[in-house]
Structure 1
Amino acid sequence: MMQSRRRSLIEAITNVVLGYALAVLTQIVVFPWFGLQVSLGENLAIGCVFTGISLLRSYALRRLFARWG
């Protein structure tokens, strides 16, 4: 059975939201290794940008694979 668009969107959102916290924590640890000093607010903003891109990517890929069966 083909997954509905709504269920695809819910799955993508859930995946990205759960990954967001890990991404921000990773940035907090990794950025200083590269000499990047970023505030918590900036880390959260950067995370939001990449989260939005990830959400669009996940949804598009899910729909593509659902169409292919």
Structure 2
Amino acid sequence: MKRKDIFVLVVMAALVVLLIFFLPNQVPVHFNSTGKADIIVNRFWLILSLPIPYSLYWKYFRHK
């Protein structure tokens, strides 16, 4: 892994962790067809979403 890739991963992780502290304790993550939230999680579960933007970076913006 290149130094730049590690830097991008650390910056993304820092941003996600920083943004989590501005969210309420319970965050709706899924809505049914009527618009009512049917899956509500603790805000810290959103840390698990970090691989999504990093994988997009790896696929489209990383120069080989």
Structure 1's consecutive aligned runs of 4 or more residues displaced over 4 angstroms after TM superposition are none
Matched position secondary structure for 1:23: coil
Matched, 1:66 2:61: yes
TM normalised by structure 2 equals 0.54
Unaligned runs of 5+ in 1: 28-33, 35-42
Q: Answer 1 or 2: higher relative contact order, Cα 8 Å, separation at least 6.
A: 1
Displacement after TM superposition at 1:25 (Å):
5.7
Q: Which has the higher strand share?
A: 2
Does structure 2 conserve the Cα–Cα contact (< 8 Å) formed by 1:8 and 1:63?
no
TM normalised by structure 1 equals 0.51
- Residue-pair matches, total: 52
Displacement after TM superposition at 1:59 (Å):
1.4
Q: Give the alignment's Cα RMSD to 1 decimal.
A: 3.1
Displacement after TM superposition at 1:61 (Å):
1.7
Unaligned runs of 5+ in 2: 28-35
